[in-house]
Structure 1
């Protein structure tokens, strides 16, 4: 009974934390709907709408890159097409590469310089501080009052600067962040699921927080910083794997405001191979936990912040830790199924399992509004949404072991290198990625455990038929089915891609 009691307590705490997170998401939905109903037309302001006397500032575009052989030409050709007053724009290619892309990038930059573009190829002796270190080094040479940043796979449209810079007319705004689009959303099930998750962040979460003055984050790319804001917040620091989240919170703790532009979309490439998605997920989730350790107390102690802003800030920093709670609930759900049917006198207690159902319903409702915003309503789209939601939920749970390991490393302050996400420049299914030289050659160390978890949840489905004395207990069967599918997808995708 002692072991059963421990399982019940741990399971209950994890369920409660997930429920609290779901309630926070529901609050963000209310914020989002209110903001959508009252949003002014100024968000899409552009050069055409701006006062003719608008004093356009000097802008530096920073392109932090590392071994991006397949996308550098596309990136550079796109960036030089940005419209902006002549003489007020410079481009920095912050190139930490160690492969042959250095030469081809250099040749391309020289050709663009000969065409009259103000573009520099900046190299460092080492990768100290990784991306944060590159951005910091470039900032020392930057002439711009404002710093726009793009990762190698982002392709802003030509009016991007003209639509974004005017929002800095408010001197309190330190960052303007735009929404990510997806160049290859429909490439595969993996890209569709990633797009689904990112769309939720870039609608529901960013708008929901920003509209009420809660902390949001610069997303590492497709945004612009006021240079004085960077310096005032303490400059870039490379002690976490998500330097963007770190600097964002430090800036907002210094009272800088952030402006999020939902209608200005910057297309980018989603990882098309599961090893690439794994590396990206690991970095994001570990970095989130690292920043919780670094910043949560500062948020809670700040007397200027409202209780609601503190709550949303801490939950935002704890976002990745939800994977750990999901994993705990998933693993303990099978012992809980047996405990429930073994100890009849605890039957009423097990109604608390409905917390997970309620949380799932809240997520279902919140994500529906995001989906409807992107694709429209109607019965046909709702059916599409149901399929998308359950696929997303299943595969997200399938990533829970991998992401939980990242979260634990972050909370225990275990340091690791910044592993960049390989880019492919692949948009159609007929395009091949098999010869991409940057793909990981080894299988993930957690793969065997993911395969065992797939079998474990198959056993959970079997258990539904045999527990108790009344013909089984099927309350958790759908949950175990989704877990079986999610871990099975992650396991076999990783195994057969051999990367």
Structure 2
């Protein structure tokens, strides 16, 4: 086998095999998840003292007020809300003015302003944690709306079971009104629900979610020493250390935590780039801890795969470029040689796609809308691939990045400066290359590159304000 043949084989494997494994594993968890039976129905609700920690930076004030009103509506006997602000000084003054108004409405809310925001969100969570007095802490983003029963039943479970140090609620999209939030929100809902139910059925601990997870305060303070300020993905990082110590994080499907999904492509791009870096960074820093954890081998493997969930997209992106480049140099269509890998990819994607379709259709009760949402989600994920890839590379190289919060409300659509339209440039380049490949006889590789180009061009057409402007 020549060097070019070896590279061609590796390119085909890198492009399709990780995706195939992703489809197989998620289809497996879906099948397993159907055996999930909740054990929470008979648990009485316990509202022992709880501290809500709300880290903020550049958040719309109306979002904060709505969250306070929502929590205040719980009428809890013993609670506190700790708002930890990393905002500039001019915003600080406005927040303290609003604090008097909020407290006059009998919300037990406190404001902590950090002049030096060390550790970004993780640092803000630690500040709130060590200032809190509740037996339980509930980190919340300003756009999260947990159901009251999630709080009461989670606390009751942890009171009875010393090994359970955290409970995750059922993640639900808060907003699915527009094209993007609906496509992304419904797909994420299916994926999170399937993985968490599947892991629960197999007796495996689940990872906490950044918002919508209640923790035992004592364990966070005394044993784990809070969140690691060197890591930007706070939920995955703290989850790894909890699992490494043999503690359990339970999944509660009966009560929901509603979370706002980005409604602009710009917001989604910022969020997903940060998540891709954060998950890979946690994989690099907590690999040994997970491997040595007391969980079963299956749990260790799945935990590592969960942290590397963005890897298939990165490998497919670079594998596609290599396949196209190799053909221009050797005139060999390696995808045609290993066509059975491509066929397998089509088959397993079809199975997983049908699972997503059936679950989304169950929510929308509209077959055509479910199909459209699947296509739209696939296009968006494809267009995000260069950003995900670059974020993962930086994490693998142990490069530090600046934490960028996902913009919400008025901040999500703000910005008018021109930017390099990576999506449009990449899509145009892939389209041009695909035409060359098809006319040159590289049918399968040409079709594959053409398929990739459509995702970039669709996003450029549908959301030009986020593609051509920052």
Tell me whether the two structures share a fold, i.e. TM-score over 0.5: yes
Aligned to 1:462: 435
Report deviation, 1:126: 0.9
Matched, 1:180 2:161: no
Q: Select the residue among 270, 277, 293 that pairs with 2:284.
A: 293
Matched, 1:357 2:346: yes
Aligned to 1:387: 372
Matched, 1:241 2:232: yes
Report deviation, 1:157: 4.1
Report deviation, 1:416: 1.1
Paired residue secondary structure (2:263): coil
Give the Cα separation in 2 of the matches to 1:309 and 1:496: 42
Aligned to 1:496: 465
Report deviation, 1:455: 1.7
Deviates more, 1:253-262 or 1:101-110: 101-110
Q: Select the residue among 366, 380, 399 that pairs with 2:384.
A: 399
Give the Cα separation in 1 of the matches to 2:75 and 2:327: 61
Aligned to 1:138: 128
Aligned to 1:214: 204
Matched, 1:418 2:419: no
Aligned to 1:483: 452
Distance verdict in 2 for CA 1:6–1:330, change over 3 Å: closer
8 Å Cα contact 2:46-2:156 kept in structure 1: no
Paired residue secondary structure (2:249): strand
Aligned to 1:427: none
Aligned to 2:140: 150
Distance verdict in 2 for CA 1:363–1:437, change over 3 Å: closer
- CA displacement 1:401-428 (0-9 Å, x = unmatched): 111111111111110111111110xxxx
Gaps of 5+ in 1: 425-432
8 Å Cα contact 1:451-1:491 kept in structure 2: yes
Give the Cα separation in 2 of the matches to 1:385 and 1:481: 24
8 Å Cα contact 2:240-2:286 kept in structure 1: yes
Deviates more, 1:277-286 or 1:70-79: 70-79
8 Å Cα contact 1:73-1:108 kept in structure 2: no
Matched, 1:473 2:446: no
Describe how 1:74-473 pairs up with structure 2 within 5 A.
74-84=66-76, 86=77, 88-98=78-88, 100-168=90-158, 169-187=160-178, 189-231=179-221, 232-302=223-293, 304-335=294-325, 342=332, 349-372=338-361, 374-375=363-364, 381-424=366-409, 433=410, 436=411, 439-440=414-415, 442=417, 447-448=421-422, 450-463=423-436, 465-468=438-441, 473=443
Report deviation, 1:254: 0.9
8 Å Cα contact 1:81-1:158 kept in structure 2: no
Give the Cα separation in 2 of the matches to 1:222 and 1:467: 53
Aligned to 2:40: 43
Give the Cα separation in 2 of the matches to 1:227 and 1:256: 14
Report deviation, 1:129: 0.6
Give the Cα separation in 2 of the matches to 1:223 and 1:365: 30
Give the Cα separation in 2 of the matches to 1:364 and 1:144: 44
8 Å Cα contact 1:175-1:257 kept in structure 2: yes
8 Å Cα contact 1:326-1:397 kept in structure 2: no
Paired residue secondary structure (1:34): coil
Gaps of 5+ in 2: none
Distance verdict in 2 for CA 1:495–1:56, change over 3 Å: closer
Distance verdict in 2 for CA 1:58–1:270, change over 3 Å: same
Matched, 1:29 2:30: yes
Distance verdict in 2 for CA 1:186–1:329, change over 3 Å: farther
8 Å Cα contact 1:324-1:403 kept in structure 2: yes
Tell me the C-alpha RMSD between the 2 structures: 2.8
Report deviation, 1:494: 6.0
Distance verdict in 2 for CA 1:334–1:382, change over 3 Å: farther
Aligned residue pairs, count: 464
TM-score (ref. length: structure 1): 0.84
8 Å Cα contact 2:4-2:326 kept in structure 1: no
Give the Cα separation in 2 of the matches to 1:292 and 1:491: 32
8 Å Cα contact 2:33-2:194 kept in structure 1: yes
- CA displacement 1:254-286 (0-9 Å, x = unmatched): 111111122322223222222211111111110
Report deviation, 1:384: 3.1
Give the Cα separation in 2 of the matches to 1:444 and 1:210: 44
- CA displacement 1:6-48 (0-9 Å, x = unmatched): 233233234222222222212211221121xxx13x4356xxx
Distance verdict in 2 for CA 1:359–1:197, change over 3 Å: same
Paired residue secondary structure (1:315): helix
